[in-house]
Amino acid sequence: MKVLVTGQLGYIGVEMVPALRAAGHEVVGLDTGFYNECDFIAPPDEVPNLDVDLRDVTADHLQGIDAVMHMAALSNDPLGDLDSKTTYDINLHASVRLAEAAKQAGVKRFLFSSSCSLYGAGGDGFLDENAAFNPVTPYGESKIRVEQALDKLADDKFSPTYMRNATAYGVSRRLRADIVVNNLVGHAITTGKVLMQSDGSPWRPLVHIGDIIQGFLSVLSAPRDAVHNQAFNIGRTTENYQIRQVANLVAEVVPNCEVSFASGATADIRDYRVSFAKAETKLPGYKPRWTVRTGIEELYEAYKRSGLTKEIWQGPKYYRLKTVRGLQERGVLDAELRRKAR
């Protein structure tokens, strides 16, 4: 297939590209390059890139595309909270227009990178794909509304699938330090402290980016009827953790560090456990293999090899919010996160 990957220069997209190529697919990208100065260890693979803002895509841009993997978004809750209008413009309205353009262009498959964050404050029970939504951020709310819009577009010729990824972690050539497992390991290595920003009590489903990528590839190769207009929680049911459990695992793997709490750490209202039984049993070929502990070990070794220092770790390079703010301060992006004319 000829596959368009939006956000192919982001945290997951950059590792999706070689996986798609290894599976025999032709890849085209669409990415505004916000994080082009954020490489970790190695640069991304080069792919043809549509030179257009996601908000301006038309059906003409998508001619000849067989499938879209829509990964691009303002990618974490703090960034969504920075400007909720821009979050909705990009994560919601542009995503829906992309799907409409894809349908008009004859694209058959549309894989939407949704999120388990749409469950939000979900409590102690295990939530499956039929659970009620309870988002606590613009990011989570936008994912729900895109799914609802895609449901209305689904028909015999246009087949969307909703990939509700758990909270991601793992090594990437576009590393993120603003997600919990990556963050805890980085602090442990560079400061000797496993620094928790909450009281450690909330539950969170966690998934390695390699297992997310496998989930997308499994949907792409699955019979249409097996995935048409369906949601899949992507992760492993055994990989739900309280944050303090993750912190303790980090302390076991990283030598000479101790668990500590950030000043003013309180309970996080994002608190939910998720069942991944549907993907584990009904998604053809989906075999997740990572655990949080093996992911921590991978991160520890990669951070050591890279020579990661406290100065680098606490700088803006691997934090999406800091990076975007820096581009605005330098006059590269305007208030709506569009590139300014040079």
Tens of pLDDT, residues 194-245: 988 778 888 999 999 999 999 999 999 999 999 999 999 999 999 999 999 9
Reported for 80-88, long-range contacts at CB under 8 A and 24+ positions apart, including other chains, are 80/137, 80/138, 80/139, 80/142, 81/137, 81/138, 82/321, 82/324, 82/325, 83/335, 84/138, 86/335, 86/336, 86/337, 87/138, 87/139, 87/142, 88/138, 88/142
pLDDT of the residue at 59? 98
Which helix (H) or strand (E) segment holds residue 26: the answer is strand 26-30
**Tens-place pLDDT, residues 31-55:** 999 999 999 999 999 999 998 999 9
User: In terms of DSSP bridges, do strands 203-208 and 240-242 run parallel, antiparallel, or are they unpaired?
Assistant: antiparallel
The answer to whether 70 touches 113, Cβ cutoff 8 Å, is yes
Taking the C-alpha atoms of residue 92 and residue 76, their distance in angstroms, rounded to an integer, is 14
Is 254 a residue whose pLDDT tops 90? yes
| pTM confidence score | 0.95
pLDDT of the residue at 196? 85
**Tens-place pLDDT, residues 175-206:** 999 999 999 999 999 999 998 877 888 899 99
Average pLDDT over residues 322-335: 92
pLDDT of the residue at 270? 78
- The residue written with tokens 């979900």 in the block is 122
Give the confidence band of 81 by pLDDT, cuts at 50, 70, 90: low
Give the confidence band of 87 by pLDDT, cuts at 50, 70, 90: confident
First to last CA, the chain: 36
Give the confidence band of 80 by pLDDT, cuts at 50, 70, 90: low
Is 129 a residue whose pLDDT tops 90? yes
Query: For the structural domain made of 2-174+206-240+273-290+322-329, what CATH number should be given?
Result: 3.40.50.720
